[in-house]
Amino acid sequence: MSFRKSLDNQVAEALNEQIKIEASAAFLYFSLASWANVRGLTGMASWFRGEAHGELTHMNLFVDYLNDRDYQAKFGTIEAPTCEWDSPIAAFDMVRTQEHVLLQRMSDLIDLADKHKDHLTHSFLTQFVPQQIADTAEADDVHDRLMLVGGDGHGLILIDQELGREAETEA
């Protein structure tokens, strides 16, 4: 019996869809990194770049899982990400929205796995949850701190440096 038969088609398609979602998230972060870089926000740019690589790592894990379950991953078209933001606050508003959507998506995927009594997929998905909660909280946090300093001037430079240091330690 092929392993594949045990992976429900609806579950497989939802996991395959996640490949595109993680890749799109990566593209948005790459776009943000470039936007920040040409504005002198080099710390923020490194941080965004690090997040982009994180999303690509997630994407790879989904591809590997599908392959391990004997399902060939399919790659669809990725839409161009936004490339203009009015301010760092606006940029982080989009980041936190994306992270909240990704957190909800993880929860929905686990629901779907449970509906199909797919314990293996449930177990695979739970590895993403703590990190996704932390990423969501951090995006909210940076946004809030940018709001506190009014999103520019000396406060912005301090936050930029802090994000740059964080990106360095995580690299």
**Binding stretches for Fe ion (CB under 5 A):** 22, 55, 58, 135
Residue closer to Fe ion by CB (options 12, 109) is 109
Distances (CA, A) of 148 to 76, 89, 92: 40, 10, 13
DSSP string, 33-96: HHHHHTTT-HHHHHHHHHHHHHHHHHHHHHHHHHHHTT--------PPPP---SSHHHHHHHHH
Contacts of 140 (CB under 8 A, 6+ apart): 96
Question: DSSP letter at 97?
Answer: H
Q: What is the number of the residue whose Cβ is closest to Fe ion?
A: 58
Residue closer to Fe ion by CB (options 22, 118) is 22
Residue closer to Fe ion by CB (options 9, 97) is 97
Shortest distance in whole angstroms from residue 151 CB to Fe ion:
22
Shortest distance in whole angstroms from residue 132 CB to Fe ion:
7
**Amino acid identity for residue 37 in this structure:** N
Shortest distance in whole angstroms from residue 56 CB to Fe ion:
9
The label of the residue with tokens 């936050």 reads 159
Shortest distance in whole angstroms from residue 2 CB to Fe ion:
29
Residue closer to Fe ion by CB (options 49, 58) is 58
